[in-house]
Amino acid sequence: MEFAWEILLFLFFAAAVAGFMDTLAGGGGLITIPALVVSGVPPLAALGTNKFQSSFGSGTSSFLLFKRKKIHWAEMRPMMIAAFIGSAIGTLIVQFIDTHVLGFVIPLVLIIIAVYFIAAPYLKLDSGQPRISNALYQKTVIPAIGVYDGMFGPGTGSFLALAGVSLRGLELIKATAMAKPLNFATNIASLIVFILADQVMWMAGFAMIVGQILGAWMGSHYLFRVNPKVLRLLIVTICFIMLGNYFYKTLL
């Protein structure tokens, strides 16, 4: 698929905005996936290209957390393997869903995640005693979230953090830190399957990676200066505008 320079520029700016907001409040996928869909990228290729560019962000944050010893490889390895397997399965499943169906399912999933994204900060999370064993958590919850990430993706980091707090009794900061390498594992597994299925738009992906890096760099300089709740609302608004434009074009 060939891209006009205007489309690549749009994807670059969309990724920059996503990288900026993701650094401050999360939810970058709610911008990058609709941006790809609106640009005319087929549904499967949109998911694959998004995995390509998002893998760089999750990989960088995971590397830094391991390097600073905020998390430890021995603790994370079995969960990362479970997340990897679940994501690979989810990505394989989505390959067999009719693209016309995906064209409507993906926007609907994004709308649901956007609503969750707004509500998430108000959910009451109580850390404390684990509600399920670590073995059961690794064998069921982590792979299940991995399957979701392999099929769609947005909100995975939040789901992993939510599960860590509510099911394993972790502190929110600890659960959020652990979610990063798990998200990286799901991204890589999904990306491998998408590459093998030839569902990655490399030119668009590279343009978005540059945008993501720039946006993340800018976001790091504004950390703690912006109200995350306002940013979350802005992210959802942008998501809805792009999805509205997509549905309008589809129905015409």
Amino acid code (one letter) for 120: A
Residues written for the chain: 252
Phi/psi at 40 (nearest 5 deg)?
A: 90, 10
Helix, strand, or coil (residue 215): helix
Q: Give the pLDDT score at 223.
A: 55
Residue with the larger pLDDT of the pair 55 and 125: 55
Percent of the chain whose predicted confidence (pLDDT) is above 70:
91
> How far apart (Å, rounded) are the C-alpha atoms in residues 157 and 138?
16
The answer on pLDDT for 251 being more than 70 is no
Per-residue pLDDT band at 121 (split at 50, 70, 90): low
Helix, strand, or coil (residue 244): helix
Tell me how far CA of residue 197 lies from CA of 60, 93, 95, 191, in angstroms. 25, 12, 8, 10
Residue with the larger pLDDT of the pair 100 and 138: 138
Decide if 52 contacts 69 (C-beta within 8 A): no
> How far apart (Å, rounded) are the C-alpha atoms in residues 221 and 252?
43
Query: What are 6's two structure tokens?
Result: 């205007």
Tell me how far CA of residue 192 lies from CA of 207, 226, 238, in angstroms. 20, 36, 29
Domain count, the chain: 1
Query: What are 170's two structure tokens?
Result: 């972790």
Residue 13, number of CB atoms within 10 A of its CB? 16
> How far apart (Å, rounded) are the C-alpha atoms in residues 134 and 207?
40
Taking residues 100-129, report their average pLDDT: 79
The answer on pLDDT for 93 being more than 70 is yes
- The answer to whether the Cα torsion of 106, 86, 83, 52 is positive or negative is negative
Q: Give the pLDDT score at 126.
A: 62
pLDDT digits (tens, 9 = 90+) for 34-72: 999 999 999 999 999 999 998 887 888 888 889 888 889
Domain with 140 in it: 5-251
pLDDT digits (tens, 9 = 90+) for 136-184: 999 999 999 999 999 998 888 888 888 898 899 988 778 888 988 999 9
Residue with the larger pLDDT of the pair 18 and 9: 9
The helix/strand count (H/E) of the chain reads as 11, 0
Q: What burial class does residue 73 get, using C-beta atoms within 10 Å of its C-beta: 0-12 exposed, 13-18 middle, 19+ buried? A: exposed
Query: What are 213's two structure tokens?
Result: 């890096």
Q: Give the pLDDT score at 250.
A: 66
Q: Give the pLDDT score at 204.
A: 96
> How far apart (Å, rounded) are the C-alpha atoms in residues 88 and 36?
22
pTM (2 d.p.): 0.84
Per-residue pLDDT band at 127 (split at 50, 70, 90): low
pLDDT digits (tens, 9 = 90+) for 177-230: 898 899 999 999 999 999 999 999 999 999 999 998 888 888 767 755 767 677
Q: Give the pLDDT score at 232.
A: 77
